[in-house]
Structure 1
C-alpha cells in the first residue's frame, strides 16, 4: 500500500521541535503521544521581547540589511514573504543592500520548492518564488538583523531554539530581540498572525499574499527610515 502523504504540519524530524503538542483533532491518540515522547522540550524561561532592532549591526559593519522570514515548513508562507519582499526591494533598485532568505522550524521539506499553489498564486501577482526549503539554524541568529515569524507558534519555536543554542553556539546575548511577528508590520489588516493555507482552498493563499504585501510594504519603509546606510547608498 502507498504511504499517505504527510503535509507541512505533520512532518517528522523537526529541526526546531515545537514547544507544544499539535491539536489532537484529526490525529490519533497514538500519534499525539509519540509526538510528546519524541519532541518534548525542557522548560525554558521566556525572555521579554524588546523594541524593534531596526537600527541594526548592519550599519556598523557596512553590510547589507539581512531579513529572514520563518514559518513551519518553509513551503508556503515564509517563501512567499521572501518573494514579496525581494520584489519590493528589487523594484526600488536596492538588491545590493539587502540579504533576504526564508526558513522553517521543521526540516521535513528541506530541499523542496515552495508549494505549487503558493507559487502559482504569487506568479499571478508578478512575484516569482524560487527558494528551496531549509530549516532555521544557529547561524541565523548571527547573520540576520530581523527574523520574522508568521504566527505565534513559529515565534515561540524560534525563541525556544535560540535558548537551546545560545550557549553552545555562543550566540549574541540580545539576538532574541530580532524575532518579531510578521503581522506587526501590517497597516491595512488587523490580523495578528499569517494563517497557514496548506489545507485550505485557493482563497487561503490569496489571503496570505494580501497580508504579506501589506506587511512587507511597511517593513521596507521602516527599514529605510531607520537605516540611512541602506536608503542613501
Structure 2
C-alpha cells in the first residue's frame, strides 16, 4: 500500500463496508490500469466504528467481482492521522462531510482536502447514496457513480 511519490486518497462513508470500499477498489483498479498505482496511497475508512474489522458487504463484493475487481479491504474508522497523511479525503454524502470536517477541526496539521467524491461526477450526481438497505441494483448504481467520479478525479490529479 506504500506510495512512492506522495499522492494519496482516502475514500470515506458511514460504515466502510459499502460505498467507500467500492470507491477504493474502483480507484485502485483504474490507477493500476493506468500504470500509476505505485504513485498513490489508496485506502478507505468509516466515520463510524460500527463495522471495524469487517469485510465489505457481500452485495458490494459481488458487484465488484461482476466487474472483475477484487478487494481484501477490512473496515476501519477514520483516525486523526488520516487528516495529516492523506492529500484528499473524498466522502459520499453531506453527513460524512459534516462528520469529517468536525473531526478535522480537532487536528492541528490537517493537510487533507475534504470534499464529496460526487463533486467529480461529470453527470453532476453530487451524493452517492448508501445502498445498505437497498438492492443489488443500488450497489450497481454506487459502482457506476464511483467509476465516473474516480475517472474524473484520477484525470484531474495525473
Aligned residues: 156
What is the aligned counterpart of 1:122 among 64, 72, 77? 64
- 1:101-129 per-position Cα deviation (integer Å, ceiling 9, x unaligned): 00000011001110011000111011112
The TM-score normalised by the length of structure 2 is 0.94
Q: In 1, Cα distance between the equivalents of 2:109 and 2:53?
A: 26
Structure 1 segment 1-233 matched on structure 2, within 5 A: 63-163=5-105, 165-166=106-107, 170-172=108-110, 175=111, 178-187=113-122, 189-224=123-158
Do the aligned partners of 1:64 and 1:96 also contact (CA within 8 Å) in 2?
A: no
Name the structure where strand makes up a greater proportion of residues.
2
**Secondary structure of residue in 2 paired with 1:139:** helix
- Shift in Å, 1:149: 0.8
- 1:134-185 per-position Cα deviation (integer Å, ceiling 9, x unaligned): 000000011000000111110000001112x22xxx324xx36x10111100
Between 1 and 2, higher relative CO (CA 8 Å, sep ≥ 6) is seen in 2
Q: CA RMSD in A?
A: 1.4
- Shift in Å, 1:94: 1.3
The runs of 5 or more residues in structure 1 that have no matched partner are 1-57, 225-233
The TM-score normalised by the length of structure 1 is 0.65
Q: In 2, Cα distance between the equivalents of 1:108 and 1:125?
A: 28
**Secondary structure of residue in 1 paired with 2:80:** coil
- Shift in Å, 1:64: 2.6
- 1:46-97 per-position Cα deviation (integer Å, ceiling 9, x unaligned): xxxxxxxxxxxx9xxx733000000000000000000000000000111210
**Secondary structure of residue in 1 paired with 2:68:** coil
Which structure 1 residue ranges, 4+ long, deviate > 4 Å from structure 2? none
